[in-house]
Amino acid sequence: MADLRLPTNAIVHPDKDRFLSLSEANPFEAMMARFDRAAELLDLEPGLYKVLRNPEKTVIVSIPVMMDSGDVEVFTGIRCIYNTSRGPAKGGIRFDQHVTVDEVKALAAWMTWKCAVVNIPFGGSKGGVICDPLTLSMGELERVTRRYTAGIIATLGPDSDVPAPDMNTNERVMAWLMDTYSMHVGHTVNAVTTGKPVAMGGSLGRREATGRGCMLATREALVQLGLPMKGARVVVQGFGNVGSIAAELLQAQGCRVIAIGDRTGGWYSKKGFDIAHAVRHVEQHGTLDGYNVGEAITNEALLELECDVLLPAALENVITTKNASRIQAKIVCEGANGPTTAGADALLDEKGIFVIPDILANAGGVTVSYFEWVQNRSGYYWTERMVNERLEEIMVNSFRDVLQLSKQHKVNMRTASYMLSINRVATVHKLRGIYA
């Protein structure tokens, strides 16, 4: 494995000081730092560099909503279409009070590279509504969703921009979005969004897809490092849909999940947890609060536990220059988008930690979203076994493509992922040319 890692300080991050000086709170800067490094290694021509460094469009809309109280509240909605050279834009919609334009732009760019790294014919987009969904009633959430959909409807369409669930959104929100779009165009268009209820054309296996993709990527990394899957110690930070499913699937493969955590804190057990039991607790109580199995620890301490696999599946920027030197995992599998800052990359490299980057590790979700879109367009639906088999084929082949590039150029997996995806997008731009 020496050819993949050390001396990474010289090979992967010759501009380490610039990476460390970046604002760790700005996800767009972090994404662009990785983009710039990959573009430099690819010797990307200046014109293409300018095109790929900028989103195609960013739409900001006001969302006036009649609240249950009878008062009118005005929310802000954002939709960024980053790149559509390879196909319709694809990206989730999140409802959160901390959504920013820079965050949405960064996530839209990440979606562009994510779709390209697994070689599915989508571009990238992302959307968000600045609100606190925990304070909204079901009726208020529906009105926010429908008015937001109407506000960005010019970008939407199965051939132009296809949303999906993201933070604090779900199948029900996608059902409202699909219905609103369909009412505007005058007929049912189930391919306008993915992550829908199965009864409305959603794909079997979609809910588990991101976590399953993380399991598959982790399995391939363990094989590459010569570590057995049976008994591998796994720490999962973020016990939502992605983290809990990844934990269940890894446990089913023989791994020992020794720590789990969510926004309420973490729990540690040297002998490992019964993940199905933990999932039932969350289903009954909403969080891991009060789980009382094992030893209670903070999320900060959870990240720094000695383990074989650390799977951050919560929010951005949880591994930073402040704690990267204390990470003790052999493998970091990024279930969340942007959990590691650009400055932390260099520090993890110096420790010889094998990082499976977000644009590869959590691409299972968008891959099965693509399957859902294909099924909607054809009107022919697959069994869950077919979905899972095709997902495994794409995830394994993509991991091996990135690994081969990392060995060839003596760079880490993140840089190799960006090089592979940017080259695929740039190649299509060259073939299409510039419309004038």
> Is residue 277 domain-shared with residue 330, that is, in the same domain?
yes
> Is residue 96 domain-shared with residue 125, that is, in the same domain?
yes
Of 339, 361, 383, the one marking the end of a domain is 361
Question: What is the share, in percent, of the chain residues with pLDDT greater than 90?
Answer: 87
- What lies within 8 Å, CB to CB, of 222 at 6+ separation is 228, 229, 232, 308, 309, 331
Residue 9 has pLDDT above 80, yes or no: no
Q: Catalytic residue among 16, 90, 105, 126, which?
A: 126
What's the number of domains the chain is made of? 2
Assigned domain for 278 exists: yes
Confidence band (pLDDT; 50, 70, 90) for 14? very low
> Is residue 179 domain-shared with residue 96, that is, in the same domain?
yes
Residue 132 amino acid letter: D
Assigned domain for 316 exists: yes
Assigned domain for 44 exists: no
Residue 139's domain is classified under what CATH number? 3.40.50.10860
Assigned domain for 300 exists: yes
> Is residue 77 domain-shared with residue 185, that is, in the same domain?
yes
Cα–Cα dist 341/61, whole Å: 29
Residue-number span of the structural domain to which 174 is assigned: 55-189
126 catalytic per annotation: yes
> What pLDDT does residue 22 have?
52
> What pLDDT does residue 13 have?
45
Give per-residue pLDDT as tens, 205-250. Answer: 999 999 999 999 999 999 999 999 999 999 999 999 999 999 999 9
Give per-residue pLDDT as tens, 356-413. Answer: 999 999 999 999 999 999 999 999 999 999 999 999 999 999 999 999 999 999 999 9
The residues that bridge with 81 in the sheet, in sequence order, are 57, 125
- What lies within 8 Å, CB to CB, of 314 at 6+ separation is 237, 238, 240, 243, 262, 263, 299, 336, 339
Assigned domain for 411 exists: no
> Is residue 179 domain-shared with residue 216, that is, in the same domain?
no
343 backbone φψ class: left, alpha, beta (φ>0; ψ -120 to 50): alpha
Eight-state DSSP code of residue 162: E
> What pLDDT does residue 182 have?
98
Do 327 and 228 touch, CB atoms closer than 8 A? no
Residue 289's domain is classified under what CATH number? 3.40.50.720
Assigned domain for 177 exists: yes
> Is residue 172 domain-shared with residue 229, that is, in the same domain?
no
> What pLDDT does residue 7 have?
30
Give per-residue pLDDT as tens, 50-62. Answer: 999 999 999 999 9
What is the SS3 assignment for 129? strand
Do 392 and 257 touch, CB atoms closer than 8 A? no
DSSP for 94-122, written as a single string: EE-TT--HHHHHHHHHHHHHHHHHTT-S-
Is 27 or 192 the better-scoring residue by pLDDT? 192
Assigned domain for 434 exists: no
> What pLDDT does residue 420 have?
97
> What pLDDT does residue 302 have?
97
Query: With the C-alpha atoms ordered 114, 421, 31, 100, is the resulting torsion angle positive or negative?
Result: negative
Q: What mean pLDDT, rounded, does the chain reach?
A: 92
Burial 260-295, CB ≥16 within 10 A → b, else e: bbbebbbbbeeebbebeebbebbeeeeebeebeebe
> Is residue 211 domain-shared with residue 283, that is, in the same domain?
yes
Cα–Cα dist 335/281, whole Å: 22
> Is residue 280 domain-shared with residue 344, that is, in the same domain?
yes
- Supply φ then ψ for residue 355, to 5 degrees: -100, 125
> Is residue 166 domain-shared with residue 218, that is, in the same domain?
no
pTM of the full structure: 0.91
Residue 4 has pLDDT above 70, yes or no: no
For residue 64, the tally of other CB atoms under 10 A from its CB is: 11
